Amino acid sequence: MSKQPLSFQPGHNHDRCIHEALHKARTLCSERKQRLTPIRELVLQLIWQSHKPLGAYELLPALADAGFNSAPPTVYRALDFLQAQGLVHRIASLNAFIGCPHPGPAHQGCFLICRSCSCTVELESAPVQNAIHNSAAHLGFVIEQETVEVVGLCPNCQQSDANSLQREAE
């Protein structure tokens, strides 16, 4: 079996994920002379509280707790900024947002989303990209933006899913 991405490793050191994400964000914004304001950094940190996509409205209570305004525009503005900087991606099929594990080079992710635990992996996916580009090129279509979102069962949940089906059968 190949090495699993951290998203699919329940016991991994997630504090490290958070720390690295924030560190990369600070570095990138600094390089680009973009302002990673307290609200923006907090939203990024909240997005990284897990490897599960979060809806914008799920972030509002935490923003309020931290003493910020927590009307929808606040969180959407922060998310817009983070998306523009490539620090988070939007998952269209879930109306939700997830942190990008390798921000920097502009890219659009290819996401594997577990319908049971919600844990989501962002693939590099060169073969997928190539296949799409070839198909598009064949029709003379010029690609500007790609959305690739795959829902299913992660390795961990296949086990629990089998277990619960078995329990039902008993």
Residues that bind Zn ion (CB under 5 A): 6, 14, 17, 100, 109, 122
Q: How far is the CB of 67 from Zn ion (least distance, A)?
A: 27
Q: Of 55, 32, 36, 35, which Cα lies nearest the Cα of 44?
A: 36
Alpha-carbon dihedral sign for residues 82, 50, 118, 125:
positive
**Cα–Cα dist 61/65, whole Å:** 6
147 binds, among Zn ion, its own copies, DNA, none (CB under 5 to 8 A by kind): its own copies
**Cα–Cα dist 109/121, whole Å:** 9
100 binds, among DNA, Zn ion, its own copies, none (CB under 5 to 8 A by kind): Zn ion
For DNA, the binding residues (CB under 7 A) are: 34-35, 37-40, 55-57, 68-69, 71-74, 76-78, 80-81, 90, 95
Q: Of 72, 35, 36, which Cα lies nearest the Cα of 55?
A: 72
Q: Which is nearer to its own copies, 73 or 140 (CB)?
A: 140
Tokens of 56: 């914008």
84 binds, among its own copies, DNA, Zn ion, none (CB under 5 to 8 A by kind): none
